Amino acid sequence: MYLVKGWFNVKTTQLSPTGFNTRVTILIAARNEAKSIHLTIGDILAQDYPKHLLEVIIVDDHSTDNTADIIASFGSQGITLLKLNEDRPLNSYKKKAIAEAIKLSSGELMVATDADCRMGSQWLSTIVGHYEAFNPVMISSPVTFFEEKSLFELLQTLEFAYLIGIGAAFIGNGRASNCNGANLAYRKDVFNEVGGFTGIDELASGDDELLLQKVAEHFPGKIAFLKQSEAVVYTHAKPNFKEFMQQRRRWASKSTKYKNKKVVALGFAFWGFNVLLLLNLLLGLFDVYFLKLFLAQILLKIFVELFYIIPITSFFKRSYLVSLILLLTPLHIVYIAVIGVIGGNKQYQWKGRMVK
């Protein structure tokens, strides 16, 4: 109920922004994205935001393909290539890439996205319009999966909507829990004031959520979630189970570093409830009482999550995904229980590197 209340607290405000005056820097850290980065750059160049107020900095993070060459080919169209040349191993190359780009930037508002994302032509003007109208210090905007090719990818889209909704709901309730670095904007001076990634740079992940936690601690109530369809960024679900689990291990590894320990406690409660479901199912093999308890719990879980997820999938114009909840629920129970355990192992493979 807390999350449902928070989601509806975030109002959809349709703005008709004109006369922009904010200098914006789009930040992208790219590693081995030769297959798709030209599409992302094309969408950025197609933005309806005034070109004289926009700069784009893309950092090539030691790519072993021709990602850097593709970025450089757009140099005449205002795309700046910055090559990351570290002579010693780092654990968080992405944070280093973003920090170096921010040092080079001339914008007031930093807008971060990923090298494999797609967006509509009003994406940036919608974000800046909200920034100029309401003056938040950070804006978390929606991300969803698209172009799914399998049932597994559709299930990921539904599950990912849960996560985006949680982040929006906490912001709607005046707090902060999670966000996604594929669609995150913040003031440059605020990034510097909170010390950038200092204190969270020992983790490979966390350029989004851990930064959000730092900003929330220093600027309570000044973070916004942009609940507008024009602001949605689109990316792809993981094509197989191995890549999916690597991604989720990476996400889980940063959760205990949250500044707000109430959020950590809530996450632990989610995990504990799903473990309890599995335990009652196991005990139900020996005592029908526990089987009845399991059935009551899972029916309650489905009912409450339907109440929560229907408005979120409606926002993304993907309401039909709700029909998958009966299939997702048992898988989700096992997944949550397992990821809560293996997420404690900080070491994982990401972008061809072993990190922690």
Distance from first CA to last CA of the chain, Å, rounded? 35
Find where tokens 């950092």 sit.
59
Residue 28 backbone phi and psi in degrees, to 5:
-140, 130
Token pair in block for residue 100: 């170096």
The angle, 0 to 180 degrees and rounded to 10, between the axes of the packed helices 2-9 and 288-315 is 0
User: Computed from CA positions of residues 114, 118, 121, 126, in that sequence, does the dihedral angle turn out positive or negative?
Assistant: negative
Average per-residue pLDDT for the chain: 91
Q: What is the DSSP letter of 53?
A: G
Whether 48 contacts 121, CB under 8 Å? yes
The angle, 0 to 180 degrees and rounded to 10, between the axes of the packed helices 325-342 and 261-283 is 110
Nearest to 239 by CA among 331, 334, 148: 148
Q: Which pTM value belongs to this model?
A: 0.91
Residue 214 backbone phi and psi in degrees, to 5:
-65, -45
Token pair in block for residue 58: 């893309």
Percent of the chain with pLDDT over 90: 76
Nearest to 204 by CA among 67, 83, 25, 31: 31
Burial of 51 (0-12, 13-18, 19+ CB in 10 A): exposed
Q: Is the pLDDT of residue 348 over 60?
A: no
Q: Which has the minimum average pLDDT: 113-127, 296-310, 342-356?
A: 342-356
Three-class SS of residue 210?
helix
Homologous superfamily (CATH) of 2-246 is Spore Coat Polysaccharide Biosynthesis Protein SpsA; Chain A (3.90.550.10)
Q: Is the pLDDT of residue 185 over 60?
A: yes
- pLDDT score of 115: 96
Please give the torsion angle defined by the CA atoms of residues 257, 263, 265 and 267, in that order, rounded to the nearest 10 degrees. -90
Mean pLDDT of 28-54: 96
Mean pLDDT of 171-176: 93
Whether 155 contacts 331, CB under 8 Å? yes
Residue ranges covered by each domain of the chain: 2-246, 261-355
The predicted-structure confidence for 207-266, as pLDDT tens digits, reads as follows 899 999 999 999 999 999 999 999 999 999 999 998 998 888 877 777 666 767 777 888
The amino acid occupying position 152 is: F
Token pair in block for residue 129: 């319009």
